[in-house]
Amino acid sequence: MSRLDPATYHVPVMLRECIEALHIVPGGTYVDATLGGGGHTQAILDALAGTGQLLSFDADDVAIQRCRNRFASAIEAQQLRIIHANFDTMPEHVSAVDGVHGVLFDLGVSSYQFDHHPRGFSFRMMAPLDMRFGQEGPTAADLLNSLDERAIADMLFRYGDEPSARKLSRAAVQRRIIAPFKTTADVRDVVVQTIPPHHQIKTMARVFQALRIAVNDELGRLERTLRSIIPSLVPQGRIVVMSYHSLEDRIVKDVFRASPDLDVLTRKPIEASDSEVEQNPRARSARLRIAERR
């Protein structure tokens, strides 16, 4: 089966390193903050070997339905709770358990969402310009149709590190006068008409990243959740976070260093091996950081 088959969602990045970092103990309580296709959830259940419990979160209804089918036996045995919500709701859900032994965040967007999802996460496919992981809040189209020129430029620069943010913002505002943004093709058209051909692909990637981060408040959710989950950890309980761009990694590093209750176990982030990157190119940008509750 191809790694891009919808049934696989994506190949879990640094799977062995993530499970080792969690330091799973029999009977422990663990959290998979980003269920996705269930790769990390499966590995945690395997390591628990029928003991303890696992809570797995995802706001994407497609991911939830697939994993409820995939893990039906573990759910029935009450070893797994699948929670249809963004991971920033985690503190209220774990408040009912007697301490958490480990939390894993895999912040990457799955291959399925990039390559098959109908909400327009990828500039390579024609889809409505939505980009929400769940079903609440404004879409990417809403942002491009309502924000003023300066706000769009700030969004593209802050979340996408886009050097042509002002030029693209101006073009977007001019374009929406003619017709509102509705699909991924509308954004592609703005980039194609504004950016030289040899820069267009990278520009599209940065623009779509910026829109997705803004729509889902990814950085704000991450920082709030990291800070709020620390008190729920048992002594020697671990937070393991795999990020895929510098904005996320900086937040993780800063939260870990600022907490008086955590020991940081990774002075530098762990990176994927050359062989893994060769097999799974999306592992190239992954950075893994680990902290432990004192």
DSSP 8-state symbol, 12 = P
CB neighbours of 228 closer than 8 A, spacing ≥ 6? 90, 91
pLDDT, position 115:
57
Sheet of strand 100-106: strand arrangement:
80-84, 53-58, 29-32, 100-106, 233-243, 287-293, 262-264
For residue 110, what pLDDT is reported?
Answer: 61
pTM exceeds 0.85 for this model: yes
pLDDT tens over the chain, length 294 residues? 333 344 445 578 999 999 999 999 999 999 999 998 899 999 999 999 999 999 999 988 888 999 999 999 999 999 999 999 999 999 999 988 989 999 999 997 765 555 555 778 888 889 999 999 888 899 999 999 999 999 999 999 999 999 999 999 999 999 999 999 999 999 999 999 999 999 999 999 999 999 999 999 999 999 999 999 999 999 999 999 999 999 999 999 999 999 999 999 999 999 999 999 999 888 999 999 999 999
pLDDT value at residue 282: 85
The domains found in the chain, sorted by start residue, are 6-112+218-293 (3.40.50.150), 119-216 (1.10.150.170)
HSE at residue 234, side-chain half, CA atoms within 13 A, is 14
Q: What is the DSSP string of 103-142?
A: EEEE-SPPHHHHHT-TT---TTS--BS---SSS-S--HHH
Q: Is 63 helix (H, G, I), strand (E, B) or coil?
A: helix
pLDDT given for residue 112 in this prediction: 57
